[in-house]
Structure 1
Amino acid sequence: MSTAKTSQNVTKDLDNFIEPERIYRDEVRRTAYSVDASMFDRVAKTVVDIQDEQEVVKLLEHARTTGTPITFRAGGTSINGQCSGSGILARIRGPFWNQTKVMDEGRYIQAWSGVLGAKVNELLKPFQKMMGPDPASLASANMGGIIVNNAAGMCCTVEQNAYATMKDIRIVLADGTILDTSDAESVAQFRKSHTSLLYKLIELRNELLSKPEVAERIKRKYKIKNTCGYAVNAFVDFEDPIDILTHLMIGSEGTLGFVTNTTLRTIDCHSFRATTLIFFPDLRTGTKAVSRWLETKAANAAELFDGPTLQALVNLPIAPKVMQGIDPNACCVLLEAKASNQAELQEKVDALSGAISDLEVLSDYEFFTDEEQCESLWAFRRALFPACVGNREAHESVLLEDICFPVDKIEEGVSELGKLFGKYGYIGGVHGHAFHGNFHFAIPVDLSTEKELHKMHQFLDEVMQVVVSYDGSLKAEHGTGYAVAPFVKMEWGQEIYDIMCRTKKLLDPFNILNPGVLINDDPTCHTKSLRVPIASHPKLDKCVNCGFCEPVCPSGKIASSPRQRVSLWRAIAHLKDSQPAKAMEWEKAYDKLGTDLCATDGICTTRCPMRVDVAGFVRDRRDQLASKTTKKIANKVGCSIGGATRGAALLLNGVALVQRLAGDAFMYKSAGLAEKIVGPSLPTWNAHMPKGAKKLPTTSSKGNDVVVYVPSCAIRTMGDSVHDPAESLAEVTLRVLERAGFRVVYPDNINKLCCGKAFETKGLFEEADNKSREMEAVLLKASENGKYPILCETSPCLARMRKVMDERLKMYEPVEFATKYLVDRLTLQKVAKKIAIHPTCSTRLMGLAEPFMKLAQQCAEEVVWPQDIQCCGFSGDKGFSHPQLNEVALATLKNQIQGCDMGYSTSRTCEIGLSLHGEVPYRNIFYLIDECMGSAS
């Protein structure tokens, strides 16, 4: 079937069972949405969002009819190309895929394929349990991907992976049949309807068992991590063909069927841990220590870093002093033990120390049990990836490999890999999960020329030969994909490879499920359709497409995620040389998908291992697009900010008066009609639209300690709402400060001041800087050059002030100010309420989310912090101009704060959207402090 015909069929038939707005056919969005974490650049012919299992069944029927291949995708964090395809890319989206069920006091958990891995562990935490798989991508990988990749991680052993801990699974086969092993009736029906298939699975099993040496080799190879090829150990481990079938699904990378949900047996999550970093003179001593620790069974993790890896880390601020001038042959191990109590932990620490008492170490070491110190050591480990690839050129890709040696062959295997780096001129080292023999390396590679591509191919071929020579695993935990498909036969041999090929043909006779992944006849498929990076913008060039940013980005659910914006902008950069007219058209489409709908809060940066500033790039783009007229208007508004805020307040009061007299129903109807007449430029009205703010109250001259209070433009413009009448925030803040013994002063001309945040968000940098400089001068005067603390009740404003203003100024937002200056001065009496909190993006970026929770817990009996809510999507005025962004960001808020009396945050605009979608009034945290405030201490 020709590509054109297939494309026509795709276009014609999908509309019959999928809503048009969930089908993406235009080239721009297909390019953006096809990007994954791999080095491959396959663009799907069509991208669809599937909302439930029945759509999966219908999509498979469509694929069988048209011969169109399907690639299912959850989080898109797989790195070997297994979630990229050139047919239909089916993204699982919507609440159906986010279901979970904790069972038997946390001993088991059932999770649908769209659930984040981190969410599973969050649900299990109250039971002191966790799931076995712990990939580094846990906060961005979905359960579907974790299962079909058999993903592991730093601590996950082969006894704890998805294959070993799976209790039940619900799958959809290529013929559309659903099998649910948790449902006895489903299993019974399947045995009847698929007798022939089950019989053929038994035949394959018998064929393997008839050759004891083959069966024994399979058992031996799965004693270490292995995700290369299909899980043929299922044929050896199980007699029941249902068990064989379901375990073949683990690690099958979407090539044998679709996984709807999985029930896993959980493992214990110990509360006590001890962590240390130990340096050894050479690799031999380090691996000897690993072997001894393994025998004690006292440690949970041992991360080994070879000499070249340490050299890449030596200049980091968090690097231990012992690394200065360290021998190039040295290595180190990050060692951690966990236990259920302190006594047990001490026993383990003693055992681990005793095991290496006669080995040479380069410095004294200490086991830390303090959470902060333990995390600082793991921060050293997490810094490894950006340290290895952070200095790559913009045109270079990242080759990330994942291999496994038998534990007793670690030293030899790692040494041989080091020789290959030197032979091919690659700068890199080896690191990994030493207890499992599982090692990684990340090196920059240039794929822009045939010469460099051939060099990488030769290098990989020799790496594979080294691993196979020790009977290791070519892929330990990252899966096979396209990257290793040509080498599966090399690892397993013709006989076992044939079993894998026959398994694929048996379960996918139509060859519609991710063809070319895992099984591929093309010996060079791993060097084709590769993504060639290009210098596109300094703020974007370090992006490695990992996708860690996506779970916290609200616009990714309706337009584009940070990763997709970067990928699309790079595609435009490629087009500019060859097809400039097309590049211009793509730029227009890009602005609708990315520039217009980005919240620019920067929270994605906190998840990015390379600290890529996509929000900063979007602001730059907005500055580039802003016309001279727009910038002149911004300047006029900035010069008359006092009049602008009072005018807006009067307008809001007028709207609120109509709302109070006519009611919400009338307002919604009128607002909808007005939007039709005026167009989308008209701000969208909602029932929690604020009234205009009152004039600032007069400060008192009482109090011993001075504090400079800077009410933001937002609270000088927006007051309470019709549905939540309250005193003004300025009045409440003054009362709290004065009760705490402060003499409050406003800066001169407070009503004319602005930090510039509103202008910065829109990319109007010149006016933003004008206002910042103006405020900075006034604050220096009011605080006597930083002598007195400064409070701004709006976190986003304060974050900008800290970023651009004089470092002498001691500036605080509400949480930090209350923690530092109020808690000890006031007697806080907990209110008998259940409350919710929302740390804003700025609060999180300043590291104040946890302190916010602690402060709230000092003020209320029960505090809910909805973990599924990240950026609220209001983004200054985006909640008025693009309300869908706020809506999708807070879609799950209402269910997460059931029973809460009030909600609290530190940004007035964020509170509007939170009140609307949470259906609980949200106010500034100072209202809560005021309510539970007793007499001054």
Structure 2
Amino acid sequence: MKDNYRDFASDLAEVVAEDRIITDPLRTLAFGTDASFYRLIPQLVVTVINEQEVQAIIGLARKYGVHLTFRAAGTSLSGQAVTDGVLVRLGNGWNQAQVLNGGAQLKVEPGVIGARANQILAPFARKIGPDPASISACKIGGIVANNASGMCCGTAQNTYQTLASMRIVLADGTVLDTGDEASCKAFRESHGDMLDKLSTLREKVLNNPALSERIVNKFRIKNTTGYSLNALVDFSDPIDIMQHVLVGSEGTLGFISEVVYHTVEEHAHKASALLIFANIEQTSRAVTALSHAPVAAVELMDRAGLRSVENKPGMPEYLKTLNDEAAALLVEVRGVSAQELDEKLSETSKVLEDFDTLQPKLFTTDKDTCALYWNIRKGLFPAVGAVRQKGTTVIIEDVAFPVENLAEAVIELQAIFKKYRYDEAIIFGHALAGNLHFVFTQNFTDPAEIQRYSDFMDDVCELVVGRYDGSLKAEHGTGRNMAPFVEMEWGTQAYELMWEIKNIFDPQTLFNPDVILTHNKQVHIENLKPIPEADDLVDPCIECGFCEPVCPSKNLTITPRQRIVVMRELKRQEREGKDGDYQTLLENYQYMGVDTCAADGLCSMACPVGINTGDLSRKLRSERNRKHAGKAQWVADHFGGISKASRTAFAVTDFTRDLIGDKALTAVSKVAKAVTFNTTPLWHDAMPGAAEQVDVKLHAISPATDLVYFPSCASRTMGPAPADNDQRSLMQVTLDLANKAGLNLAMLADQEQHCCGMPLESKGHFEQADAMRERLNQALLQASDNGRIPVLIDTSPCVFRMTQKLDERIQLLDPIRFANQHLLPRLEVTPVTDPVAVHVTCSTTKQGLGDELIALARHCSTQVVVPKDIICCGFAGDKGFMLPELNASALAPLKEQASGCTEGISTSRTCEIGLSRHAEIPYHSMLYLLDRVSRSKTAAQTH
């Protein structure tokens, strides 16, 4: 570390907790990576949790002359969120949002994910204006700093246009809240000189009609190249100018700590059509016509793009029959009411009458069909990333042309692709705004390839700017990628204005040097990110960061994207020579990358290319645990005895607890955990007791059997926590409910010998785990009369594992489907009025049963709470016992969100242990609640 950064870090330790000042090689590499194709490793990373820390950091940066780069989610694509200085990343202190004026406004902090902001606004039928494709991962800080837009946002609903006020920390440490009169008054007194300079810039622009007109024209289409010079034309108050210049400034002018948005309407009625045209020219002409119609979105897709997704499941068959010239438009129309939607559809259809299409021009309101159309559009970028040659980077550029020039521009852009042999390139985009994205793959390890990319970009810039006076960056931000070309697009006068703005806000160049403005004309082809091969399981990763919000370890260690980044570096060093950091990286990766990976698979659902990073972690565990294969085989062969021993251990713990008390047992378990090097679990008062056993002989298979019931091994060994009111085992509750509903459940006579194999799979013992599953599969096939009788398994994780390689004849029932399909029709339910918290497990989510569980909960309680910030509980099999910090980190927001609830329900016994502990309310299977609030319809009819 350089001396000034070392001194900076030393002083910083007096302001920020030591564990949030990060200098180790693993995390500086991992946290320093964003979604762009640039790689810079920070000198240090600091995680900030409040505005006071930001002020202190800026003050120390001035003192020591170090550079600061602010990072929200790191989904930016143009290199604006990487640095070799200090990376300042948002911690958990920036997640507050407040609805104002009945939903007309939203006050929101920079750490709130865009999709979360829209969830908060949904009850008011409102949303924020920006709708970037990364909205489920990107945060408000990045949305504002990049002036992000999206498919339906256009130029009218971006942050610049919907901003009400913001709170800013400037380069001298001053905080200005532009929505607070007292703050503004104090700022005018203390920073009059700064405001005067901004007013002088405005006068300079207004006194130059040609420059004024150029600024106005440049923002008629989407434009994020350079600073928001339109603020100098649109506003007269220098504070208004100031806050609007901050929009799209990419962290180069100050830190935005809060924003108030004017929200926009979220229309309830929508219709979509996929229109196929004979060639790109006709497609583009239709866009020009549709720009005068009442449409909400028009997405263009060229033939190469359609070809990249035509073989995906569910895609229309006719996509495969299109010739090489064809192209498509995805058009969406929205209305406040069904009548308004019909009126807009009628008007839009008239506009389209003059255009011939290869398929009927049919608009549909069917949600599944609309979702299919939009999945085509959303699948274009990842489709290229998934099939790229190993070792190459996927690049997505975005430009904008005047809509009337779109047809010619697309044809000429395709010609440039051919000239430079980017044969896999595809074009798509937000056509109404003249905004085109083009995606291609690039090798950055070969100097000749880098030169090819450089020459290609020169030609693209000449086309966009020189020929059509368009935008080199429409919505992805200037970053490093277009910084050398800002003057080319804007001209010298406007470019000098931008440097004046930079000097007014940041005279010491503390913030994000070489982003937006640079004196280095080669910065766009320097520090290019290598994408070395690591493992077939993760090589398709494009490092976009979409996976990060759903990862339970994101606030404890690292995320799926970061695991892949470090693994790539480890493999690169193994091939090319290990440097001084290799051993440290390897050792730290075991805990941060492998041990604390919950392997829940939710990352694959968020990933554009479907990567399950948990598969990599299990593979690495398998390689590490190969020496224990014999023990794993012994476990598989003697599972019945192990189940009994586990149950005995829980019973002994119950006895010990009764004997010495909760506090003493907790203390003893802490000592045991320490002296055994974390190989024994930490006891707490939410730990289960031994499960009450059921005599399986009383539930033998018979002609009267309605369902075969196989309790999971967790249900057979773990009973309720000692403090729970209902001390029946889940097995007994399930049998009692079935009896109440008039259903006859049968059980395997040798069920103790069977398990789905998940405990072994999670340790990487795949062969032994699959053998256990196959034995269970055969037993269930026999018991169910070759699948004639449905089979119930009482916990969702076991169901999910069984469905992966189950004999297709077996009708497997998750407890949620069992309750909804077999119990509710036979029971009379009187819901409780007490609030009930619902936890949707990872397995439930992956089976698509989350909504069914919530609906079931609403049958049982008039007040249902679904914590929004809990995606995975992080208990992850036995990790909640052995690595309780993962569970604690994943459930940190739970207690506050579940406050007021009297109980919680779920469908996984192990998850319920951690949930109970951290919510401080009892969690149990939803079958307990259903049993408590229901009675037999037959019994009800006799009263």
Mapping for residues 221-370 of structure 1, pairs under 5 Å: 221-296=218-293, 298-370=294-366
Deviation of 1:334 after TM superposition, in Å, equals: 0.8
Deviation of 1:553 after TM superposition, in Å, equals: 0.6
1:322-370 Cα distance to aligned partner (Å, 9 max, x none): 3232122121111111111111111111111111113211111322213
Instruction: Provide the residue aligned with 2:909 in structure 1.
Output: 908
Deviation of 1:700 after TM superposition, in Å, equals: 4.5
Q: State how far apart, in whole Å, the 2-side matches of 1:781 and 1:584 are.
A: 52
Q: SS of the residue aligned with 1:323?
A: helix
Instruction: Provide the residue aligned with 1:187 in structure 2.
Output: 184
| Identical counterparts, % of pairs | 39
Contact 2:385 2:541 in 1 (8 A): no
Matched, 1:797 2:801: no
Deviation of 1:476 after TM superposition, in Å, equals: 0.8
The unaligned stretches of length 5 or more in structure 2 are: 939-943
Contact 1:22 1:49 in 2 (8 A): yes
Deviation of 1:801 after TM superposition, in Å, equals: 0.9
Mapping for residues 529-544 of structure 1, pairs under 5 Å: 529-544=527-542
Contact 1:704 1:741 in 2 (8 A): no
Q: State how far apart, in whole Å, the 2-side matches of 1:386 and 1:183 are.
A: 43
Contact 1:748 1:782 in 2 (8 A): no
Task: Choose the corresponding residue for 1:160, options 148, 157, 161.
Answer: 157
1:867-923 Cα distance to aligned partner (Å, 9 max, x none): 211010000111111111111111111221222222111100000111111122111
Q: SS of the residue aligned with 1:333?
A: strand
Instruction: Provide the residue aligned with 2:489 in structure 1.
Output: 491
Instruction: Provide the residue aligned with 2:522 in structure 1.
Output: 524
Matched, 1:713 2:713: yes
Corresponding letter in the other structure for 2:336 = S
Corresponding letter in the other structure for 1:100 = A
Matched, 1:786 2:782: no
Deviation of 1:259 after TM superposition, in Å, equals: 0.4
Deviation of 1:670 after TM superposition, in Å, equals: 3.1
Task: Choose the corresponding residue for 2:656, options 645, 649, 658.
Answer: 658
Instruction: Provide the residue aligned with 1:923 in structure 2.
Output: 924
Corresponding letter in the other structure for 2:484 = P
Instruction: Provide the residue aligned with 1:444 in structure 2.
Output: 441
Corresponding letter in the other structure for 1:535 = E
Q: SS of the residue aligned with 1:275?
A: strand
Instruction: Provide the residue aligned with 1:129 in structure 2.
Output: 126
Deviation of 1:434 after TM superposition, in Å, equals: 1.0
Corresponding letter in the other structure for 2:156 = E
Q: SS of the residue aligned with 1:91?
A: strand
Mapping for residues 421-820 of structure 1, pairs under 5 Å: 421-426=417-422, 427-468=424-465, 469-580=467-578, 582=580, 583-628=582-627, 630-698=628-696, 699-700=698-699, 704-726=704-726, 727-820=728-821
Matched, 1:29 2:30: no
Deviation of 1:71 after TM superposition, in Å, equals: 0.6
Deviation of 1:835 after TM superposition, in Å, equals: 1.3
Q: State how far apart, in whole Å, the 2-side matches of 1:324 and 1:376 are.
A: 16
Corresponding letter in the other structure for 1:210 = N
Matched, 1:390 2:386: yes
Contact 2:898 2:919 in 1 (8 A): yes
Alignment RMSD: 1.6
Corresponding letter in the other structure for 1:231 = S
Contact 1:703 1:738 in 2 (8 A): no
1:680-715 Cα distance to aligned partner (Å, 9 max, x none): 222111110000112124445788453111111111
Deviation of 1:848 after TM superposition, in Å, equals: 1.1
Q: SS of the residue aligned with 2:103?
A: coil
Deviation of 1:936 after TM superposition, in Å, equals: 4.4
Contact 2:144 2:248 in 1 (8 A): yes
User: Residues 581 and 768 from structure 1, CA distance in 2 versus in 1: closer, same or farther, beyond 3 angstroms?
Assistant: farther
Mapping for residues 95-134 of structure 1, pairs under 5 Å: 96-134=93-131
Instruction: Provide the residue aligned with 1:215 in structure 2.
Output: 212
Matched, 1:171 2:168: yes
Q: State how far apart, in whole Å, the 1-side matches of 2:510 and 2:347 are.
A: 53
Q: State how far apart, in whole Å, the 2-side matches of 1:115 and 1:235 are.
A: 29
1:742-762 Cα distance to aligned partner (Å, 9 max, x none): 322212410111110011011
Contact 1:132 1:266 in 2 (8 A): yes
Contact 1:485 1:526 in 2 (8 A): yes
Corresponding letter in the other structure for 1:212 = P
Matched, 1:416 2:412: yes
Deviation of 1:145 after TM superposition, in Å, equals: 0.6
1:603-635 Cα distance to aligned partner (Å, 9 max, x none): 11110001112100100000000152x322222
Q: State how far apart, in whole Å, the 1-side matches of 2:884 and 2:330 are.
A: 47
Q: Which moved more, 1:713-722 or 1:816-825?
A: 816-825
Contact 2:72 2:142 in 1 (8 A): yes
Deviation of 1:290 after TM superposition, in Å, equals: 2.1
Q: Which moved more, 1:279-288 or 1:41-50?
A: 279-288
Q: State how far apart, in whole Å, the 2-side matches of 1:359 and 1:159 are.
A: 28
Contact 2:25 2:585 in 1 (8 A): no
Deviation of 1:313 after TM superposition, in Å, equals: 2.6
Contact 1:868 1:892 in 2 (8 A): yes
Q: State how far apart, in whole Å, the 2-side matches of 1:353 and 1:929 are.
A: 51
Deviation of 1:286 after TM superposition, in Å, equals: 1.9
Q: SS of the residue aligned with 1:823?
A: helix
Contact 2:315 2:372 in 1 (8 A): no
Q: State how far apart, in whole Å, the 2-side matches of 1:925 and 1:541 are.
A: 40
Compute the TM-score of the two structures, normalised by the length of structure 2: 0.97
Task: Choose the corresponding residue for 1:405, options 401, 407, 412.
Answer: 401
Q: State how far apart, in whole Å, the 2-side matches of 1:313 and 1:761 are.
A: 33
Instruction: Provide the residue aligned with 2:368 in structure 1.
Output: 372
Deviation of 1:175 after TM superposition, in Å, equals: 0.8
Q: State how far apart, in whole Å, the 2-side matches of 1:440 and 1:542 are.
A: 20
Contact 2:699 2:747 in 1 (8 A): no
The unaligned stretches of length 5 or more in structure 1 are: none
Contact 1:170 1:178 in 2 (8 A): yes
Corresponding letter in the other structure for 2:280 = L
Q: State how far apart, in whole Å, the 2-side matches of 1:322 and 1:752 are.
A: 52
Q: State how far apart, in whole Å, the 2-side matches of 1:310 and 1:651 are.
A: 59
Deviation of 1:723 after TM superposition, in Å, equals: 1.5
Instruction: Provide the residue aligned with 1:844 in structure 2.
Output: 845
Q: Which moved more, 1:614-623 or 1:921-930?
A: 921-930
Q: State how far apart, in whole Å, the 1-side matches of 2:768 and 2:319 are.
A: 47
Deviation of 1:585 after TM superposition, in Å, equals: 4.1
Deviation of 1:307 after TM superposition, in Å, equals: 2.4
User: Residues 804 and 316 from structure 1, CA distance in 2 versus in 1: closer, same or farther, beyond 3 angstroms?
Assistant: closer
Deviation of 1:436 after TM superposition, in Å, equals: 0.7
Compute the TM-score of the two structures, normalised by the length of structure 1: 0.97
Q: Which moved more, 1:237-246 or 1:3-12?
A: 3-12
Contact 2:384 2:394 in 1 (8 A): no
Q: State how far apart, in whole Å, the 2-side matches of 1:757 and 1:721 are.
A: 23
Q: SS of the residue aligned with 1:556?
A: coil
Deviation of 1:299 after TM superposition, in Å, equals: 1.2
User: Residues 678 and 309 from structure 1, CA distance in 2 versus in 1: closer, same or farther, beyond 3 angstroms?
Assistant: closer
Deviation of 1:780 after TM superposition, in Å, equals: 1.4
Q: State how far apart, in whole Å, the 1-side matches of 2:545 and 2:915 are.
A: 27
